[in-house]
Amino acid sequence: MTAEVSSGPDVGRAVRVLRRGGLVAFPTETVYGLGADAESDDALARLYAVKGRPTDHPVIVHLGHADRIDEWAGSVSDAARVLTACFWPGPLTVVVPAAGRVSRVATGGLDTVGLRVPDHPVARSLLDAFGGGIAAPSANRFGRVSPTSAGAVTRDLGLDVDLVLDGGPCSVGVESTIVDCTTATPVVLRVGGVTLEDLAGVLDGVPAVGGTTRAPGTLPAHYAPNAAVEVVTPAALADRARRAAAREVRVGVIALASDLVGIDLPDVLVPLARPADVVGYAHDLYRALREADELGLDLVLAVTPPPDGLGVAVADRLGRAAARH
């Protein structure tokens, strides 16, 4: 049995589900979110239980419009103002001091909150109609691959989600970039849909990446399918694939099309994704990792894209998926 999936603009029903403390999965431009009323401790408790997430790990609160930030943030630094003016709506989350109305269940007990205005028509009409904030982690069980389609949500969460709004495949495909704006200079906690080059263009130079706040997406092992993931260079790919196939291991490959030119791969290899560029790589990555599990593969060999633009986020996710095994 799976939850009901709504492909029409069933926003009215979704709002009713949220108001009675239920869980609604909805599309954003990055990945699907598992949403709950950000002001309801009970709804949030259920959200954490379904997700299987430790209660001290904060979730992002989604808002319908940038001008709502002052209702949810205790204060907003100049850097946060600049970033939200430039990148909202979009794949950027800012961590700011939390206003009193934000449930401390949503913040994992912290006095800061991650806020984001997503750029997806279904998400925005849901947020507009709901009026309040929607707390939403990615709509997958803790530690697993984030869903980039409604089907992936239902396969992962089943009846634990009350309603799934289907907005088609996510355009970006990796999660938002998270910038901690509570420090004197902003720090990137998670690389994602807004690139470091984008950030450098509006801040004073390239921001630092790191930070020690509780961010599960920054745990060394995360975003992992059941299949083992191994990151390989284009030069090592063919040999590595042949050795694995000789051991009767079922192997899939993800690589830029340009990295596969002239490479002689064994026929038993399953091509999971062959994107034309880093944007396509980000778009295809989670779909490909999920497909590896649906096909029962043992191993995914992934050739990382060049480390610029969205390639940084792709390499980050591949590294964490590989760290699980």
User: Residue 59 binds which entry of Mg ion, ligand TXA, none, with Cβ cut-offs from 5 to 8 Å by kind?
Assistant: ligand TXA
SS3 228: strand
* Closer residue to ligand TXA, CB minimum distance, 93 or 269: 93
Q: Is 90 near ligand TXA (CB under 6 A)?
A: no
Least distance (Å) from Mg ion to the CB of residue 143?
9
**Of residues 3, 10, 30, 317, which one binds ligand TXA by CB under 6 A?**
30
Q: How many residues bind ligand TXA (CB under 6 A)?
A: 32
**Structural contact between residues 120 and 62, judged by C-beta atoms closer than 8 angstroms:** no
Q: Which residues bind Mg ion (CB under 5 A)?
A: 138
Listed residue (121, 137, 118, 123) closest to 50, CA to CA: 137
Q: Is 217 near ligand TXA (CB under 6 A)?
A: yes
**Which residue's entry shows tokens 């720090």?**
187
Interior angle at CA 275, CA 274 and CA 276, nearest 5:
120
**Of residues 73, 188, 215, 318, which one binds ligand TXA by CB under 6 A?**
215
**Structural contact between residues 91 and 29, judged by C-beta atoms closer than 8 angstroms:** yes
Residues β-bridged to residue 165: 6
Kindly indicate which of the ranges 77-85, 156-164, 208-216, 277-285 contains the residues binding ligand TXA, using the contact rule CB under 6 A: 208-216
Least distance (Å) from ligand TXA to the CB of residue 248?
35
Quick one: CA dihedral 301, 307, 313, 316, positive or negative? positive
Q: Is 31 near ligand TXA (CB under 6 A)?
A: yes
What is the per-residue binding string for ligand TXA in 117-156, x denoting contact by CB under 6 A? -x-----------------xxx------------------
Residues β-bridged to residue 116: 62
SS3 68: helix
**Structural contact between residues 149 and 169, judged by C-beta atoms closer than 8 angstroms:** yes
Q: Is 107 near ligand TXA (CB under 6 A)?
A: yes
Kindly indicate which of the ranges 9-17, 26-34, 237-245, 316-324 contains the residues binding ligand TXA, using the contact rule CB under 6 A: 26-34
SS3 170: coil
Q: CA–CA separation, 240 vs 167, rounded Å?
A: 38
Residues near ligand TXA (CB under 6 A): 28, 30-31, 33, 57-60, 91, 93, 95, 107, 110, 112-114, 116, 118, 136-138, 175-176, 178, 189-190, 213-218
